Amino acid sequence: MSCYIELQNISQSFQATQSKVTLFNNLNLRVEQGKSYAITGPSGAGKSSLLMLMSGLEQPTSGQGIYSKNGQSHSLAYLKTDIGFIFQQFHLLPELTALNNVALPLKLRGDKRAMNKAKIWLEKVGLQHRENHKPSELSGGEQQRVAIARALVFEPNFIFADEPTGNLDKDSAASIADILFDCCRENNAGLVIVTHSDALANRAQQVFSLADGQLNNPLANVEVA
């Protein structure tokens, strides 16, 4: 049975120096395992905040999120073991090799086959020949491939990617997009991408635009109050 994440009447605001800033109000959104989604919009619109809320890594000011798995509903806190997160800045540990960076999430879970699984995933992203190199010895595109392998190594139900090609040149960005979409498709993982790149966004099955507190896509499974 497919899993899904649903946000219900989500609002997010924060206190600035002299005023309250509201990113969005009463937003409703549902994303499903096995499908791909892109969130676009101007800087400061709240795209990254929305991604953090959907992944359960941040709490909304109001509203609730639901994670449905195997026909049962849970809070988004339950998502922690079922998601992978990919950042624009890679967030690799500089003292570890590519292989050990990928294996780390499995090691933290006590998986005795962590290194073998990490090798398999480095091969999937085309970096088996770089497994003993540290991040400082890799190009930006190679570092992002390691980050993708690390996010997918435990075969999560959902992958969240925040500007995954933002620091890469055009050719590297296209290559990373190929790997990201292919790997998620092969593993039936839901993919949610925040991006300023139209080329990357247009590869998703559904594209949302977040601006002025509203999320728009008339063809999407989304409502805006």
Confidence of residue 219 (pLDDT cuts 50, 70, 90): very low
Average pLDDT over residues 117-143: 94
In this structure, which amino acid lies at residue 101? N
The predicted pLDDT at position 17 comes to 80
In this structure, the chain runs to a length of 225
**Phi/psi-derived region of residue 42, left when phi > 0, alpha when psi is between -120 and 50, beta in every other case:** beta
83-87/158-162 β-pairing: parallel
Confidence of residue 221 (pLDDT cuts 50, 70, 90): very low
Strand order in 62-69's β-sheet? 72-75, 62-69, 4-15, 20-32, 222-224
The predicted pLDDT at position 34 comes to 94
Task: Report how far apart, in Å, the C-alpha atoms of 222 and of each of 147, 188, 194, 205, 216 are.
Answer: 30, 21, 16, 14, 8
C-beta separation of 37 from 191 below 8 A: yes
The predicted pLDDT at position 205 comes to 95
Query: Looking at the chain, which runs of residues are DSSP E strands?
Result: 4-15, 20-32, 36-40, 62-69, 72-75, 83-87, 158-162, 190-194, 206-211, 214-216, 222-224
**pTM recorded for the entire structure:** 0.89
C-beta separation of 80 from 69 below 8 A: no
The predicted pLDDT at position 1 comes to 58
- Asked if the model's pLDDT at residue 209 lies above 70, the reply is yes
Looking at the DSSP bridge assignments, the partners of residue 8 are 64
CATH number given to 36-57+80-219: 3.40.50.300
**Owner of token pair 């992944």:** 55
Q: For the segment 139-174, what is each residue's pLDDT rounded down to a tens digit?
A: 999 999 999 999 999 889 999 999 988 888 888 889
Q: Could you say which DSSP state residue 221 is in?
A: S
Q: To the nearest whole number, what is the mean pLDDT of the chain?
A: 89
Average pLDDT over residues 111-127: 94
Q: For the segment 33-62, what is each residue's pLDDT rounded down to a tens digit?
A: 999 999 999 888 889 999 999 999 888 999
- Asked if the model's pLDDT at residue 22 lies above 70, the reply is yes
Confidence of residue 220 (pLDDT cuts 50, 70, 90): very low
